[in-house]
Structure 1
Amino acid sequence: MEMTTHSTPNAQIRSFFLEGPAGRLEALLNAGKPDAQFAAVVCHPHPLYGGTMHNKVVYNAMKALRGFGFPVLRFNFRGTELSEGEHDYGAGERQDVQTALEWLKHEFSLPLIFAGFSFGAAVGLRAACPDPDVKALISLGTPVAAEGRSYTYEFLNECAKPKLFVSGDRDQFGPAERLYEVTAAAAEPKRFVLIHGADHFFAGQLESMKSAIEFWVRDTLLQPQRQ
Protein backbone atom coordinates (compact mmCIF):
# COMPACT_ATOMS: atom_id res chain seq x y z
CA MET A 1 0.00 0.00 0.00
CA GLU A 2 1.45 3.33 -1.01
CA MET A 3 2.19 5.93 1.62
CA THR A 4 3.24 9.56 1.41
CA THR A 5 5.08 10.70 4.52
CA HIS A 6 5.84 14.18 5.83
CA SER A 7 8.04 13.41 8.81
CA THR A 8 11.54 12.31 9.66
CA PRO A 9 12.23 8.57 10.04
CA ASN A 10 12.88 8.87 13.79
CA ALA A 11 9.86 11.02 14.61
CA GLN A 12 7.57 9.80 17.37
CA ILE A 13 4.59 11.07 15.36
CA ARG A 14 4.42 10.40 11.63
CA SER A 15 2.12 12.43 9.42
CA PHE A 16 1.29 10.80 6.11
CA PHE A 17 -1.45 9.68 3.71
CA LEU A 18 -2.98 6.25 3.27
CA GLU A 19 -4.13 5.30 -0.23
CA GLY A 20 -7.83 4.60 0.29
CA PRO A 21 -10.57 3.50 -2.13
CA ALA A 22 -11.85 7.08 -2.47
CA GLY A 23 -8.44 8.76 -2.51
CA ARG A 24 -5.80 9.69 0.00
CA LEU A 25 -6.64 9.55 3.72
CA GLU A 26 -4.81 11.92 6.04
CA ALA A 27 -3.24 9.96 8.90
CA LEU A 28 -1.08 10.20 12.01
CA LEU A 29 0.91 7.38 13.59
CA ASN A 30 2.11 7.59 17.18
CA ALA A 31 5.13 5.31 17.21
CA GLY A 32 5.23 2.27 19.47
CA LYS A 33 8.02 0.32 21.13
CA PRO A 34 10.02 -2.38 19.33
CA ASP A 35 8.53 -5.05 21.58
CA ALA A 36 4.90 -3.91 21.18
CA GLN A 37 2.36 -6.71 21.61
CA PHE A 38 -0.40 -5.00 19.61
CA ALA A 39 -0.94 -2.24 17.09
CA ALA A 40 -4.10 -0.11 17.26
CA VAL A 41 -6.32 2.19 15.25
CA VAL A 42 -8.64 4.83 16.73
CA CYS A 43 -11.52 6.20 14.62
CA HIS A 44 -13.08 9.63 15.02
CA PRO A 45 -16.71 10.81 15.45
CA HIS A 46 -19.09 12.03 12.74
CA PRO A 47 -17.25 14.28 10.26
CA LEU A 48 -20.36 16.26 9.31
CA TYR A 49 -20.59 17.45 12.93
CA GLY A 50 -16.96 18.44 13.41
CA GLY A 51 -15.39 15.05 14.05
CA THR A 52 -11.73 14.61 13.12
CA MET A 53 -8.78 12.53 14.24
CA HIS A 54 -7.82 15.42 16.54
CA ASN A 55 -10.97 15.00 18.66
CA LYS A 56 -10.21 14.97 22.41
CA VAL A 57 -11.76 11.56 23.02
CA VAL A 58 -9.82 10.08 20.11
CA TYR A 59 -6.61 11.71 21.34
CA ASN A 60 -7.02 10.39 24.87
CA ALA A 61 -7.84 6.91 23.61
CA MET A 62 -4.63 7.06 21.60
CA LYS A 63 -2.71 8.10 24.72
CA ALA A 64 -4.14 5.19 26.70
CA LEU A 65 -3.07 2.66 24.08
CA ARG A 66 0.24 4.36 23.33
CA GLY A 67 1.01 4.14 27.05
CA PHE A 68 1.46 0.39 26.62
CA GLY A 69 3.96 0.93 23.84
CA PHE A 70 1.53 0.08 21.05
CA PRO A 71 1.83 1.96 17.75
CA VAL A 72 -1.47 3.81 17.30
CA LEU A 73 -2.89 5.00 13.99
CA ARG A 74 -5.44 7.78 13.62
CA PHE A 75 -6.84 8.96 10.31
CA ASN A 76 -9.48 11.25 8.88
CA PHE A 77 -12.40 9.64 7.13
CA ARG A 78 -12.95 10.47 3.45
CA GLY A 79 -13.88 14.10 2.87
CA THR A 80 -12.58 15.19 6.28
CA GLU A 81 -9.89 17.90 6.43
CA LEU A 82 -7.14 16.79 3.99
CA SER A 83 -8.64 13.38 3.22
CA GLU A 84 -9.95 13.04 -0.31
CA GLY A 85 -13.38 11.84 -1.36
CA GLU A 86 -16.84 12.63 -0.02
CA HIS A 87 -18.74 11.57 3.07
CA ASP A 88 -20.56 8.30 2.33
CA TYR A 89 -22.86 7.96 5.35
CA GLY A 90 -21.06 4.93 6.73
CA ALA A 91 -20.64 2.54 3.83
CA GLY A 92 -17.51 4.11 2.35
CA GLU A 93 -16.18 4.94 5.81
CA ARG A 94 -16.24 1.23 6.62
CA GLN A 95 -13.88 0.77 3.68
CA ASP A 96 -11.67 3.51 5.11
CA VAL A 97 -11.40 1.53 8.36
CA GLN A 98 -10.48 -1.58 6.39
CA THR A 99 -7.77 0.43 4.62
CA ALA A 100 -6.33 1.50 7.97
CA LEU A 101 -6.40 -2.05 9.32
CA GLU A 102 -4.65 -3.41 6.24
CA TRP A 103 -1.95 -0.74 6.52
CA LEU A 104 -1.32 -1.67 10.16
CA LYS A 105 -1.04 -5.36 9.28
CA HIS A 106 1.46 -4.62 6.52
CA GLU A 107 3.47 -2.19 8.61
CA PHE A 108 3.71 -4.11 11.90
CA SER A 109 2.58 -7.75 11.53
CA LEU A 110 1.01 -7.56 15.00
CA PRO A 111 -2.41 -8.47 16.36
CA LEU A 112 -4.67 -5.43 16.18
CA ILE A 113 -6.89 -3.46 18.54
CA PHE A 114 -9.76 -1.44 17.12
CA ALA A 115 -11.06 1.60 19.00
CA GLY A 116 -13.66 4.08 17.85
CA PHE A 117 -15.63 6.97 19.25
CA SER A 118 -19.30 7.58 18.38
CA PHE A 119 -19.72 7.38 14.56
CA GLY A 120 -16.20 5.95 14.40
CA ALA A 121 -17.27 3.13 16.72
CA ALA A 122 -20.53 2.40 14.89
CA VAL A 123 -18.79 2.24 11.51
CA GLY A 124 -15.53 0.69 12.62
CA LEU A 125 -16.97 -2.16 14.66
CA ARG A 126 -18.64 -3.48 11.52
CA ALA A 127 -15.30 -3.50 9.72
CA ALA A 128 -13.25 -4.83 12.64
CA CYS A 129 -15.47 -7.63 13.96
CA PRO A 130 -15.07 -9.98 10.97
CA ASP A 131 -11.35 -9.24 10.56
CA PRO A 132 -9.39 -12.19 12.00
CA ASP A 133 -6.37 -10.02 12.75
CA VAL A 134 -8.37 -7.70 15.02
CA LYS A 135 -8.21 -9.30 18.45
CA ALA A 136 -10.02 -6.73 20.61
CA LEU A 137 -12.58 -3.95 20.24
CA ILE A 138 -13.16 -0.70 22.13
CA SER A 139 -16.35 1.32 21.62
CA LEU A 140 -16.45 4.77 23.19
CA GLY A 141 -19.67 6.76 23.38
CA THR A 142 -21.49 4.04 21.47
CA PRO A 143 -24.27 5.90 19.60
CA VAL A 144 -27.80 4.55 19.46
CA ALA A 145 -29.66 7.54 18.05
CA ALA A 146 -28.17 10.88 17.00
CA GLU A 147 -29.51 13.77 14.93
CA GLY A 148 -32.18 11.58 13.34
CA ARG A 149 -29.78 8.69 12.68
CA SER A 150 -30.22 5.33 14.37
CA TYR A 151 -27.56 2.68 14.87
CA THR A 152 -28.02 -1.04 15.43
CA TYR A 153 -25.52 -3.62 16.64
CA GLU A 154 -27.04 -7.06 16.02
CA PHE A 155 -23.75 -8.11 14.40
CA LEU A 156 -22.10 -7.97 17.83
CA ASN A 157 -24.20 -10.96 18.89
CA GLU A 158 -21.83 -13.16 16.85
CA CYS A 159 -18.62 -11.22 17.54
CA ALA A 160 -16.80 -13.38 20.10
CA LYS A 161 -13.83 -11.05 20.60
CA PRO A 162 -13.02 -9.14 23.81
CA LYS A 163 -15.09 -5.95 23.76
CA LEU A 164 -14.99 -2.85 25.93
CA PHE A 165 -17.86 -0.36 25.91
CA VAL A 166 -17.34 2.96 27.70
CA SER A 167 -20.06 5.61 27.87
CA GLY A 168 -21.32 8.35 30.14
CA ASP A 169 -24.56 8.04 32.08
CA ARG A 170 -25.56 11.41 30.60
CA ASP A 171 -24.78 10.48 26.99
CA GLN A 172 -27.38 12.27 24.90
CA PHE A 173 -26.85 9.91 21.93
CA GLY A 174 -26.68 6.66 23.89
CA PRO A 175 -29.12 6.44 26.83
CA ALA A 176 -27.90 4.00 29.46
CA GLU A 177 -30.96 1.77 29.23
CA ARG A 178 -30.44 1.34 25.47
CA LEU A 179 -26.74 0.67 25.92
CA TYR A 180 -27.48 -2.03 28.50
CA GLU A 181 -29.63 -3.72 25.85
CA VAL A 182 -26.86 -3.49 23.24
CA THR A 183 -24.17 -4.82 25.52
CA ALA A 184 -26.37 -7.53 27.02
CA ALA A 185 -27.04 -8.92 23.54
CA ALA A 186 -23.38 -8.79 22.47
CA ALA A 187 -21.38 -12.01 22.58
CA GLU A 188 -18.94 -12.65 25.41
CA PRO A 189 -16.33 -11.63 26.42
CA LYS A 190 -17.35 -8.03 27.06
CA ARG A 191 -17.26 -5.24 29.62
CA PHE A 192 -19.49 -2.20 29.90
CA VAL A 193 -18.23 0.81 31.87
CA LEU A 194 -20.72 3.60 32.56
CA ILE A 195 -19.01 6.75 33.83
CA HIS A 196 -21.07 8.76 36.28
CA GLY A 197 -21.68 12.37 35.27
CA ALA A 198 -20.17 12.01 31.79
CA ASP A 199 -21.91 13.16 28.61
CA HIS A 200 -21.33 11.87 25.09
CA PHE A 201 -18.01 13.69 24.79
CA PHE A 202 -16.80 12.76 28.29
CA ALA A 203 -16.47 16.46 29.12
CA GLY A 204 -14.55 16.74 32.39
CA GLN A 205 -14.27 12.93 32.49
CA LEU A 206 -11.63 12.18 29.87
CA GLU A 207 -9.22 10.84 32.49
CA SER A 208 -11.89 8.43 33.73
CA MET A 209 -12.45 7.23 30.18
CA LYS A 210 -8.72 6.85 29.61
CA SER A 211 -8.34 4.93 32.88
CA ALA A 212 -11.15 2.55 31.89
CA ILE A 213 -9.28 1.70 28.70
CA GLU A 214 -5.98 1.23 30.52
CA PHE A 215 -7.48 -1.05 33.17
CA TRP A 216 -9.24 -3.20 30.57
CA VAL A 217 -6.13 -3.58 28.40
CA ARG A 218 -4.04 -4.66 31.41
CA ASP A 219 -6.71 -6.96 32.77
CA THR A 220 -8.01 -8.49 29.54
CA LEU A 221 -5.30 -8.32 26.89
CA LEU A 222 -1.98 -8.34 28.74
CA GLN A 223 -2.61 -10.23 31.97
CA PRO A 224 -3.31 -13.62 30.31
CA GLN A 225 0.02 -13.41 28.47
CA ARG A 226 2.10 -13.08 31.61
CA GLN A 227 3.90 -16.16 32.85
Structure 2
Amino acid sequence: MNSKTVKQLTPGPAGALECALDRPDGEPRGVAVICHPHPQQGGTMDNKVVQTLARAFLQLGYRTVRFNFRGVAASEGAWDEGQGEIDDALAVIAAHRDPALPLALAGFSFGGYVASQAAARLPDDAKVERLVLVGPSTQKQKVAPVPEETLVIHGESDDIVPLSATLDWARPQSLPVVVIPGVGHFFHGQLALLKNLVVRSWHR
Protein backbone atom coordinates (compact mmCIF):
# COMPACT_ATOMS: atom_id res chain seq x y z
CA MET A 1 0.00 0.00 0.00
CA ASN A 2 2.94 2.30 0.74
CA SER A 3 6.68 2.11 1.33
CA LYS A 4 6.14 1.33 5.01
CA THR A 5 3.88 -1.68 4.38
CA VAL A 6 5.37 -4.84 5.88
CA LYS A 7 4.65 -8.20 4.24
CA GLN A 8 4.81 -11.35 6.31
CA LEU A 9 3.45 -14.89 6.44
CA THR A 10 1.05 -15.91 9.21
CA PRO A 11 0.28 -19.58 9.99
CA GLY A 12 -3.17 -20.57 8.80
CA PRO A 13 -5.29 -23.73 8.93
CA ALA A 14 -4.36 -24.69 5.35
CA GLY A 15 -0.82 -23.28 5.32
CA ALA A 16 0.86 -19.91 5.54
CA LEU A 17 -1.23 -16.81 4.80
CA GLU A 18 0.30 -13.74 3.19
CA CYS A 19 -0.36 -10.57 5.20
CA ALA A 20 0.32 -6.86 4.67
CA LEU A 21 0.72 -4.79 7.83
CA ASP A 22 0.62 -1.01 8.21
CA ARG A 23 1.19 0.97 11.40
CA PRO A 24 -0.11 4.45 12.17
CA ASP A 25 2.11 7.24 13.40
CA GLY A 26 2.25 6.97 17.17
CA GLU A 27 0.70 4.33 19.37
CA PRO A 28 -2.19 2.45 17.68
CA ARG A 29 -5.68 2.87 19.11
CA GLY A 30 -6.72 -0.55 17.84
CA VAL A 31 -6.17 -3.29 15.27
CA ALA A 32 -8.20 -3.57 12.04
CA VAL A 33 -8.33 -6.79 9.99
CA ILE A 34 -9.67 -6.40 6.44
CA CYS A 35 -11.02 -9.20 4.19
CA HIS A 36 -10.80 -9.06 0.39
CA PRO A 37 -13.28 -9.92 -2.42
CA HIS A 38 -13.93 -13.33 -3.98
CA PRO A 39 -10.66 -15.23 -4.63
CA GLN A 40 -12.04 -16.90 -7.76
CA GLN A 41 -12.99 -13.58 -9.30
CA GLY A 42 -9.61 -11.89 -8.94
CA GLY A 43 -9.99 -10.67 -5.37
CA THR A 44 -6.79 -10.03 -3.42
CA MET A 45 -5.65 -7.95 -0.47
CA ASP A 46 -4.41 -5.34 -2.99
CA ASN A 47 -7.95 -4.62 -4.22
CA LYS A 48 -8.51 -0.84 -4.30
CA VAL A 49 -11.52 -0.92 -1.97
CA VAL A 50 -9.59 -3.06 0.53
CA GLN A 51 -6.66 -0.64 0.38
CA THR A 52 -9.07 2.28 0.82
CA LEU A 53 -10.47 0.67 3.97
CA ALA A 54 -6.93 0.16 5.26
CA ARG A 55 -6.14 3.84 4.64
CA ALA A 56 -9.28 4.87 6.51
CA PHE A 57 -8.32 2.78 9.52
CA LEU A 58 -4.74 4.07 9.41
CA GLN A 59 -6.07 7.63 9.48
CA LEU A 60 -8.17 6.65 12.50
CA GLY A 61 -5.03 5.37 14.25
CA TYR A 62 -5.45 1.63 13.79
CA ARG A 63 -2.75 -0.89 12.96
CA THR A 64 -4.13 -2.52 9.81
CA VAL A 65 -3.84 -6.10 8.61
CA ARG A 66 -4.79 -7.12 5.07
CA PHE A 67 -4.33 -10.74 4.02
CA ASN A 68 -4.77 -13.08 1.08
CA PHE A 69 -7.15 -15.99 1.52
CA ARG A 70 -5.82 -19.52 0.98
CA GLY A 71 -4.65 -20.14 -2.59
CA VAL A 72 -4.28 -16.44 -3.44
CA ALA A 73 -0.81 -15.13 -4.37
CA ALA A 74 1.67 -16.30 -1.69
CA SER A 75 -0.99 -17.81 0.60
CA GLU A 76 -0.90 -21.60 0.69
CA GLY A 77 -3.87 -23.92 0.33
CA ALA A 78 -6.81 -23.96 -2.08
CA TRP A 79 -10.27 -22.42 -2.41
CA ASP A 80 -12.66 -23.94 0.14
CA GLU A 81 -16.11 -22.71 -0.91
CA GLY A 82 -16.08 -19.85 1.61
CA GLN A 83 -15.86 -22.05 4.71
CA GLY A 84 -12.09 -22.39 5.01
CA GLU A 85 -11.79 -18.71 4.19
CA ILE A 86 -13.65 -17.88 7.42
CA ASP A 87 -11.11 -20.03 9.26
CA ASP A 88 -8.34 -18.07 7.51
CA ALA A 89 -9.77 -14.81 8.82
CA LEU A 90 -10.04 -16.20 12.35
CA ALA A 91 -6.40 -17.36 12.19
CA VAL A 92 -5.23 -13.91 11.10
CA ILE A 93 -7.32 -12.27 13.84
CA ALA A 94 -5.85 -14.61 16.46
CA ALA A 95 -2.30 -13.96 15.28
CA HIS A 96 -2.48 -10.18 14.97
CA ARG A 97 -5.00 -8.89 17.50
CA ASP A 98 -3.69 -7.24 20.65
CA PRO A 99 -5.72 -8.17 23.76
CA ALA A 100 -5.05 -4.69 25.11
CA LEU A 101 -6.53 -2.95 22.05
CA PRO A 102 -9.97 -2.90 20.38
CA LEU A 103 -10.41 -5.01 17.25
CA ALA A 104 -12.19 -3.74 14.15
CA LEU A 105 -13.11 -6.08 11.31
CA ALA A 106 -13.93 -5.03 7.76
CA GLY A 107 -14.68 -6.72 4.47
CA PHE A 108 -15.56 -5.89 0.88
CA SER A 109 -17.98 -8.02 -1.18
CA PHE A 110 -17.18 -11.71 -0.44
CA GLY A 111 -14.90 -10.35 2.28
CA GLY A 112 -17.93 -8.77 3.91
CA TYR A 113 -19.53 -12.20 4.19
CA VAL A 114 -16.32 -13.62 5.68
CA ALA A 115 -15.98 -10.71 8.13
CA SER A 116 -19.57 -11.12 9.33
CA GLN A 117 -19.17 -14.85 9.89
CA ALA A 118 -15.78 -14.49 11.58
CA ALA A 119 -17.16 -11.81 13.91
CA ALA A 120 -20.09 -14.06 14.84
CA ARG A 121 -17.72 -16.91 15.76
CA LEU A 122 -15.48 -14.90 18.10
CA PRO A 123 -16.05 -15.70 21.78
CA ASP A 124 -18.11 -13.30 23.88
CA ASP A 125 -15.03 -11.99 25.66
CA ALA A 126 -13.23 -11.22 22.38
CA LYS A 127 -15.90 -9.59 20.21
CA VAL A 128 -15.04 -6.89 17.68
CA GLU A 129 -15.36 -3.22 18.55
CA ARG A 130 -17.02 -2.57 15.20
CA LEU A 131 -17.70 -4.12 11.81
CA VAL A 132 -17.49 -2.35 8.45
CA LEU A 133 -19.11 -4.12 5.48
CA VAL A 134 -18.78 -2.60 2.02
CA GLY A 135 -20.94 -4.04 -0.77
CA PRO A 136 -21.32 -7.28 1.25
CA SER A 137 -22.13 -10.41 -0.73
CA THR A 138 -25.68 -10.73 0.58
CA GLN A 139 -27.11 -12.42 -2.51
CA LYS A 140 -24.79 -15.43 -3.00
CA GLN A 141 -23.45 -15.93 0.54
CA LYS A 142 -25.10 -16.18 3.94
CA VAL A 143 -23.98 -12.98 5.61
CA ALA A 144 -24.39 -13.34 9.37
CA PRO A 145 -26.56 -11.01 11.44
CA VAL A 146 -24.39 -8.20 12.78
CA PRO A 147 -24.30 -5.84 15.79
CA GLU A 148 -26.44 -2.71 15.53
CA GLU A 149 -23.43 -0.37 15.35
CA THR A 150 -22.12 -2.09 12.19
CA LEU A 151 -21.38 0.27 9.30
CA VAL A 152 -22.78 -1.04 6.00
CA ILE A 153 -22.03 0.89 2.79
CA HIS A 154 -23.50 -0.07 -0.59
CA GLY A 155 -23.53 1.47 -4.06
CA GLU A 156 -26.95 2.28 -5.48
CA SER A 157 -25.97 0.95 -8.91
CA ASP A 158 -24.10 -2.17 -7.73
CA ASP A 159 -24.29 -4.68 -10.61
CA ILE A 160 -22.58 -7.51 -8.70
CA VAL A 161 -24.56 -7.47 -5.44
CA PRO A 162 -27.94 -5.78 -5.95
CA LEU A 163 -28.73 -3.12 -3.37
CA SER A 164 -32.10 -4.84 -2.89
CA ALA A 165 -30.35 -8.00 -1.62
CA THR A 166 -28.49 -6.05 1.04
CA LEU A 167 -31.65 -4.19 2.06
CA ASP A 168 -33.49 -7.53 2.34
CA TRP A 169 -30.70 -8.79 4.63
CA ALA A 170 -30.61 -5.59 6.69
CA ARG A 171 -34.37 -5.08 7.07
CA PRO A 172 -35.08 -7.82 9.68
CA GLN A 173 -32.22 -6.41 11.76
CA SER A 174 -33.47 -2.81 11.50
CA LEU A 175 -29.93 -2.11 10.32
CA PRO A 176 -29.26 1.18 8.49
CA VAL A 177 -27.44 0.97 5.14
CA VAL A 178 -25.46 3.92 3.77
CA VAL A 179 -26.24 4.12 0.03
CA ILE A 180 -23.98 6.06 -2.33
CA PRO A 181 -26.10 7.26 -5.27
CA GLY A 182 -25.06 6.16 -8.76
CA VAL A 183 -22.09 4.10 -7.58
CA GLY A 184 -21.29 0.56 -8.73
CA HIS A 185 -19.78 -2.38 -6.90
CA PHE A 186 -16.15 -1.24 -7.11
CA PHE A 187 -16.79 2.41 -6.13
CA HIS A 188 -14.98 3.75 -9.20
CA GLY A 189 -14.36 7.47 -8.77
CA GLN A 190 -15.74 7.42 -5.23
CA LEU A 191 -12.99 5.78 -3.19
CA ALA A 192 -12.20 9.07 -1.43
CA LEU A 193 -15.87 9.36 -0.42
CA LEU A 194 -15.85 5.75 0.82
CA LYS A 195 -12.80 6.46 2.97
CA ASN A 196 -14.36 9.63 4.37
CA LEU A 197 -17.60 7.83 5.25
CA VAL A 198 -15.67 5.32 7.35
CA VAL A 199 -13.61 7.99 9.08
CA ARG A 200 -16.63 10.21 9.78
CA SER A 201 -18.66 7.33 11.17
CA TRP A 202 -15.97 6.66 13.77
CA HIS A 203 -15.89 10.29 14.87
CA ARG A 204 -19.66 10.19 15.44
The normalised TM-score by structure 2 is 0.91
The alpha carbon displacement at 1:34 in A equals 4.2
Cα RMSD (Å): 1.7
Q: Structure 2 CA distance, aligned partners of 1:35 and 1:127?
A: 26
Which position in structure 1 is the counterpart of 2:189? 204
Q: Hey, which bits of structure 1, 4+ residues long, moved more than 3 A?
A: none
Please say if residues 111 and 136 of structure 2, whose CA atoms lie closer than 8 Å, have aligned partners that are also in contact.
no
The alpha carbon displacement at 1:182 in A equals 1.4
Q: Structure 2 CA distance, aligned partners of 1:66 and 1:191?
A: 25
Considering Cα pairs closer than 8 Å and 6+ residues apart, tell me whether 1 or 2 has the greater RCO: 2
Which position in structure 1 is the counterpart of 2:75? 83
Percent of counterpart pairs with the same letter?
Answer: 34
The alpha carbon displacement at 1:128 in A equals 1.3
The alpha carbon displacement at 1:161 in A equals 5.1
The alpha carbon displacement at 1:144 in A equals 2.8
- Partner residue of 2:45 out of 31, 43, 53: 53
Q: Which moved more, 1:29-38 or 1:50-59?
A: 29-38
- Partner residue of 1:121 out of 86, 104, 112: 112
**Pairs aligned (count):** 199
The aligned runs of 1:116-195 (5 Å cut-off) are 116-131=107-122, 132-145=126-139, 150-153=140-143, 155-156=144-145, 159-160=146-147, 162-186=149-173, 190-195=175-180
1:110 lines up with 2:69 in the alignment: no
- Partner residue of 1:74 out of 54, 63, 66: 66
The alpha carbon displacement at 1:181 in A equals 1.8
| Rg larger for | 1
Please say if residues 30 and 66 of structure 1, whose CA atoms lie closer than 8 Å, have aligned partners that are also in contact.
yes
The alpha carbon displacement at 1:110 in A equals 1.2
- 1:154-177 Cα shifts (integer Å, max 9, x gaps): x30xx4352011110011122222
Please say if residues 137 and 161 of structure 1, whose CA atoms lie closer than 8 Å, have aligned partners that are also in contact.
no
Q: Structure 2 CA distance, aligned partners of 1:139 and 1:160?
A: 12
